[in-house]
Amino acid sequence: MVREKIPGSAVDGLVEFLEKYYLTPALHASRIDSYSKRGPGAERNFELSWRTGAPAAASVPRPQQFSISVRLTIGLDGVAIDFGGVNPATPPDEEARRRIGDEVELFATTFLARAKKTSLYFVFSLGEEKSMEAPEAARGSMSREVRKRIFAGNTANLFLVMMLLNFVLFIFLGSYAILAIVGAQALLLFYSDRLVLGSGNVRPDKDRPEVAVVRVTSTPEVGEILAKTGEGLLSPIRGELGRAISERTIQTPETKSKIHDILVRNRVPCSLDDIEITVRSPYPIVRAAAEKFHLPVPKISILNTPLDNAAATGISYGRSSISITAGALEDLDDDQLTSVIGHELGHVKGRDPLVLFFATMAIYLGGPYLWAPLVLRLGFFYYFVAFGLVYTVGKFLETRADTQSMVVLGNPSVLASALTNIGFRQLYFERYSRRYRILDWLRFDPHPPIYFRVGRLSRFASKGGQVKHALLVSIRDCVAGFFGALIGMG
């Protein structure tokens, strides 16, 4: 169910979290009974067991209430769930099983996401010219954080920031503000690949294809200490870790002990169980996907963030770059990471940054010069309409990128599983709330709702994944998905 490895120090915390926020409220609400807990066992495994009831569907000739036994196993290898008393052929049983499984996964992923946010990440490029990414002091990191936030999601974020900047420039430059903003945006787009590349020090290539991610489970208090102490503490940690990491011994117990000793000696409390080391080779994955797209291999940058994400930008095929987060290297297997990279290469293949550039230019220049009466009539509300149009175009392009990955790589079900892993919490609320599905279509986000993307890919997987006109099919599906959500079918 939750297949990612859990640090030894976090297993106890996850059990306590589930008991406090899921099982105890359900017990008080009489949703469960016969609750028991066993563990920790020899391998730090816990076993939580309970029985729960669920109302039967009116169309099924069953008693008013039926009971399901649930056994939850939590350990270093993840979270697994088993059911007893369930008949998969009976719709109420199957629906109850899926709902319980989704609820447990929601709480488990919520806890693990919180744990990641307070963890310390160190990212190493393995090779002769070794470089690394480490937690930064608050001072001096602002520009890189801004670049990560603007470029690491979707180029629409950049264009919307520029639209907001247009308000400020208009105060000082008047009608010339439009020309200034068009020029500035064109300049940023031209250098966007270099800006993304500069967001991370670790840049795997054919000579240094491997990357090591070292995660140290920590607490918010440790993060505050690092922020206050700044470079006086972080600089020696970076230096010592850089000398301790060896390409040949990175995943040995000796290296983990060295990392532990360095951190403790520099006043960062942790145990050996708090340290997890993941070694990946992102360059061969990106190169293989680029070859299938008939594209040159883009430059790669690894961002030191726990989020599972990747992003691509660039003005042309030869001036493109891809950023991959440390969280994605930790959590996605090779097939899933390939499918996500395929999605990003779909943006490059479709020249989506240029498409969004011209779309926003039409809004900039069209407002005062082509449809000025409409702008005067709508007033400030015009910009809400403009934002909505840009994000709508973004949704079309994101859906097309999914389609391109599916068609070129032939992996719709794998991309669907990767999206499920990346956005499960959002997917849970969309799956069980029609209101949430509608709001996710309407919010200012260039990505369509996760439930729509996963369901669409799953349908294509069952049909063989053949598409003739990716953009037209994507626009059609987005429009159908939106209206389906409005009338309760999506």
Name the CA dihedral angle for 40, 4, 273, 138, rounded to a multiple of 10 degrees. -130
The mean pLDDT value for 344-368 works out to 83
Alpha-carbon separation of residue 325 from 73, 288, 303 (angstroms): 29, 19, 5
Q: Identify which has the larger pLDDT, 206 or 93.
A: 206
| DSSP assignment letter at 202 | B
Q: Give the mean model confidence (pLDDT) for residues 390-412.
A: 92
CA dihedral of 306, 312, 318, 319, whole degrees rounded to 10:
-80
Most confident of 44-48, 171-175, 412-416, 459-463: 412-416
Place of tokens 């779309």: 359
Q: What is the pLDDT of residue 173?
A: 67
55-59, 206-210, 243-247: range with lowest mean pLDDT: 55-59
Higher pLDDT, 440 or 135: 440
| Residue 368 confidence (pLDDT) | 63
The per-residue DSSP string of 65-107 comes to: EEEEEEEEEEETTEEEEEEES--TTSHHHHHHHHHHHHHHHHH
> Contact 129/312 with Cβ under 8 angstroms?
no
Which of 43-47, 102-106, 173-177, 477-481 comes out lowest in average pLDDT? 173-177
Q: What percent of the chain has pLDDT over 90?
A: 33
CA angle 137, 138, 140 (to 5 degrees): 85
Report which of residues 241 and 228 the model is more confident about: 241
Instruction: Give 407 or 390, the one with higher predicted confidence.
Output: 407
Q: What's the mean pLDDT in 156-182?
A: 67
pLDDT at 272 over 70: yes
Look at residue 311 and tell me whether its pLDDT is greater than 80: yes
Name which residue leads in pLDDT, 248 or 470. 470
d(CA 360, CA 160): 8
DSSP string covering 37-61, please? EE---TTS-EEEEEEEEEEPPTTS-
Average pLDDT of the chain to the nearest whole number: 81
- 121 has a pLDDT exceeding 80: yes
Of the pLDDT bands very low, low, confident and very high (cuts 50, 70, 90), residue 166 is low
Position 271 scores a pLDDT of 85
Give me the residue spans of the domains in the chain: 8-117
Q: Residue 165 above 80 pLDDT?
A: no
pTM above 0.75, yes or no: yes
% residues pLDDT > 70 (the chain): 78
Q: In which band, very low, low, confident or very high, does the pLDDT at 487 lie, cut at 50, 70 and 90? A: confident
Regarding predicted confidence, which is higher, 184 or 293?
293
* Residue 286 scores a pLDDT above 70: yes
Q: How far apart are CA 369 and CA 4, in angstroms?
A: 54
Cα–Cα dist 327/330, whole Å: 5
pLDDT for position 3: 67
For 314-333, what is each residue's pLDDT tens digit? 888 989 999 999 999 999 99
Instruction: Give the other-Cβ count within 10 Å of 235's Cβ.
Output: 13
Q: Are 54 and 68 in contact (CB under 8 A)?
A: yes
Return d(Cα 331, Cα 78) in angstroms, integer: 12
Q: Which pLDDT score, from 0 to 100, does residue 295 have? A: 95
Residue 85's pLDDT band (boundaries 50, 70, 90)? low
Cis amide bond preceding 40, omega within 30: yes
Q: Which residue has the tokens 């209101």?
A: 435
In angstroms, the CA 130 to CA 246 distance is 10
Q: What is the pLDDT of residues 49-84, one digit of tens each?
A: 998 865 444 444 444 455 788 999 998 888 999 887
Of the candidate ranges 193-207, 355-369, 438-452, the one whose mean pLDDT is the lowest: 355-369
Query: Does 213 score more than 60 pLDDT?
Result: yes
Residue 347 has pLDDT above 90, yes or no: yes
89 or 258: which leads in pLDDT: 258
pLDDT in tens, 417-458: 999 999 999 999 999 998 999 999 998 888 999 999 999 999
- Average the pLDDT over 223-250 and give the result: 68
pLDDT at 228: 66
CA 50 – CA 72 distance, rounded (Å) = 9
Q: How far is CA 126 from CA 132, 146, 204, 209, 239, in A?
A: 9, 27, 9, 8, 15
